[in-house]
Structure 1
């Protein structure tokens, strides 16, 4: 909606409208993996700390260098033989041309067929059919994929032709309609949703704990009231009140 991202106050992070990357319309949010791969295929090089971003580039046929900044990213890179460089912190001067020159895909290209064989063997060992098995699949996946229509990537609101503003205004309008009534184009699940009785949920546990606490408090309150009544009956004031009530009843007064 064009508002700064909450809790991020560093002006170097591109989460506000004034950032150069935002102003230059150099940000994209992909709503489908295939458009992501296609975009990566148009680029010369990719690098960064996000593992899946580098995977998308490699699947698009673009060289990629993973900046391994923790044990998880390092383990993934070593397992898949992806090009990586250790980057535990960003105090060093990172230059894209140097990362590109250091990117060697020889080990990755050699490991990829072996990884594919391990994956399909795992499926078959567990009795799971897949499209690469003999006799499975129709063989027209690539043709059907090429004929499919995917949503375009989301651009910043600064996009020059105004389509992003119109798209988000439509999203707001559709959301308002959905809030008011069930939209005719809404997704209908093919099965009835099971009724929710709250059993086992966090909400149900809180309700049970609250009810138990209230019951305990009610018992304490009842006990205190009984003690007060006993004290009142034993006090001189209580004795006087009882005598007066008896005198009133004797003379027929309330």
Structure 2
């Protein structure tokens, strides 16, 4: 049996509750990360191949163990080319350089402004170059999320078609080439799913937040870690709530959707996709917030706010409208008239074939071509024997017993995080003390040499 290591915060077979996810941050700060990892696990797992999560391990010292234990290492990455992820990218570069097994990057993208200047010199250009070079020593090419990322890597000196290839997001191929979007007949009783990004323009947030007051059968589906903490515990565990002062955004229990219990935070890919089969329309600024309903056959409208969402929504031809098309007078019906909900179907077959050719090119065996409606794959058969955690709602909607359990767990998490912070602080202090000690030793050595030189000179 072959074993393949996959960069992911958790396996689709893990049944972690909200408290454990918060404690270990197995979603990498955004639950959308579970969706593309789920596709890789589902379609590369076979009777003869086992996939194992690395739980975001990135220690170069683990290289020998990885070489001895695994036959390959797969990196399904998201917007990894961004300042905040560069320290992690550098650690993975150091690890990959020590590996002797194949390394496959199945999806990586940039997080740039909506209209980026690709030729702008960025402080992390060399770090990205080093990562790409390290991967190319272990694989024939890299799979990219979109054309903007391809243009950026080409600007850095890598050749499109040889060193890198646009494949989109692997999450879109979760069920192979089987995507069929249902028709929409909007009414006051329609089930609406809304997703939002705090960085979106205020006019977009005002429009999306306004929908929560107009439709009774509506749910807000948050994705960020601080939103999971808010939903689970009712308040931030440490420090102030992120985005707490942002207008037109559900960021406290006093927000309309939290007060009305219209919040669903999903803890795994399977239940998220299954729920979206019951929804009539999904709309918002989140990429995977709208890819999940697409996989479920649900009509969606994506509002791209940056290059990350733009390049993927364009490549996969997701139904979309720009931020400029939204103002204070915009109605949901207006946006519905502007999009073709079936546009994604028209591009999917070609994109799927391109993705399969990429996997064949890098030598990754898969079952993507065995997907068919109603056919259960090995991973899904395993999932049937597992009780996955259901999405959670606001703590204020819980029974008194569950509320007590959540508060007790939150207190334990807070203590563990406080201990971790203190531990890291102590390490930093010790490291600084060590540097000061080393500097003092060097200074004393210089003083000694100067004294010797003066002594010789005075003779």
Q: TM class by shorter-chain length?
A: 0.5 to 0.7
Higher RCO (C-alpha under 8 Å, 6+ residues apart): 2
Distance across 2 between alignment mates of 1:156 and 1:206: 43
The equivalent residue for 1:76 is 312
Distance across 2 between alignment mates of 1:70 and 1:89: 15
CA contact (8 A) 1:64 1:103 kept: no
Is the alpha carbon distance of 1:210 and 1:11 closer, same or farther for their aligned partners in structure 2, counting shifts above 3 Å?
same
The equivalent residue for 2:352 is 116
Unmatched segments (≥5 aa) in structure 2:
1-232, 418-427, 452-459
The equivalent residue for 2:234 is 2
> Deviation of residue 214 (structure 1)?
2.7
> Deviation of residue 7 (structure 1)?
5.3
Alignment of 1:172-183 (within 5 A): 172=410
CA contact (8 A) 2:281 2:298 kept: yes
Is the alpha carbon distance of 1:40 and 1:166 closer, same or farther for their aligned partners in structure 2, counting shifts above 3 Å?
farther
Of structures 1 and 2, the larger Rg is shown by 1
Alignment of 1:67-146 (within 5 A): 67-87=303-323, 91-132=327-368, 139=377, 141-146=379-384
The equivalent residue for 1:165 is 403
The equivalent residue for 2:262 is 26
The equivalent residue for 1:213 is 439
> Deviation of residue 148 (structure 1)?
3.6
Cα root mean square deviation, aligned: 3.8
The equivalent residue for 2:213 is none
The alignment covers a number of residue pairs equal to: 203
- The reply on whether 1:149 has 2:387 as its aligned counterpart is yes
CA contact (8 A) 1:68 1:88 kept: no
CA contact (8 A) 2:234 2:396 kept: no
1:78-108 CA distances to partner (integer Å, 9 max, x unpaired)?
Answer: 1111111111596544422222333313331
The equivalent residue for 1:61 is 297
Distance across 2 between alignment mates of 1:6 and 1:79: 31
CA contact (8 A) 1:2 1:17 kept: yes
The equivalent residue for 2:272 is 36
The equivalent residue for 1:16 is 252
Is the alpha carbon distance of 1:47 and 1:203 closer, same or farther for their aligned partners in structure 2, counting shifts above 3 Å?
farther
1:32-90 CA distances to partner (integer Å, 9 max, x unpaired)?
Answer: 01111112211111111111101011111111111022233222111111111111596
> Deviation of residue 211 (structure 1)?
3.9
1:105-154 CA distances to partner (integer Å, 9 max, x unpaired)?
Answer: 333102112222222221111111112357xx985554544554210111
- When the two structures are superposed, what TM-score results if normalisation uses the length of structure 2? 0.38
Unmatched segments (≥5 aa) in structure 1:
180-201, 227-254
Distance across 1 between alignment mates of 2:376 and 2:243: 50
SS of equivalent to 2:283: strand
Distance across 2 between alignment mates of 1:127 and 1:51: 28
Distance across 2 between alignment mates of 1:133 and 1:104: 27
CA contact (8 A) 1:80 1:115 kept: yes
Distance across 2 between alignment mates of 1:89 and 1:207: 57
Distance across 2 between alignment mates of 1:160 and 1:204: 44
SS of equivalent to 1:47: strand
